[in-house]
Amino acid sequence: MSDPSTYWLTLTNVALGVVVLICCVAVGIGILQELAARRKKHAALSQLDREVSDLVATFHDGHAFHTPELGLTMADGGEELKKKEER
pLDDT digit string, tens, across residues 35-44: 999 999 988 8
What pLDDT, on a 0 to 100 scale, did the predictor assign at position 3?
79
What one-character DSSP code corresponds to residue 77?
-
3-state secondary structure of 64: coil
- Give me the pLDDT at residue 45, please: 83
69 versus 7: the higher-pLDDT residue is: 7
Q: Each residue of 45-72: pLDDT tens digit?
A: 888 888 887 777 766 555 555 566 765 5
Is residue 3 assigned to a domain? Answer: no
Q: Is 7 domain-assigned?
A: no
Domain assignment present for 12 = no
Q: Cα–chain-centroid distance for residue 2?
A: 59
What pLDDT is attached to residue 22?
Answer: 98
Q: Is 83 helix (H, G, I), strand (E, B) or coil?
A: coil
- Category of 62 on φ-ψ map: left (φ > 0), alpha (ψ -120 to 50) or beta: left
Pair 66, 72: CB distance under 8 Å: yes
The three-state secondary structure class of 60 is coil
Q: What range defines the domain where residue 47 resides?
A: 23-77
> How many folded domains does the chain comprise?
1
- The alpha carbon dihedral of 64, 65, 71, 73 has a sign of negative
Q: Taking residues 10-32, report their average pLDDT.
A: 97
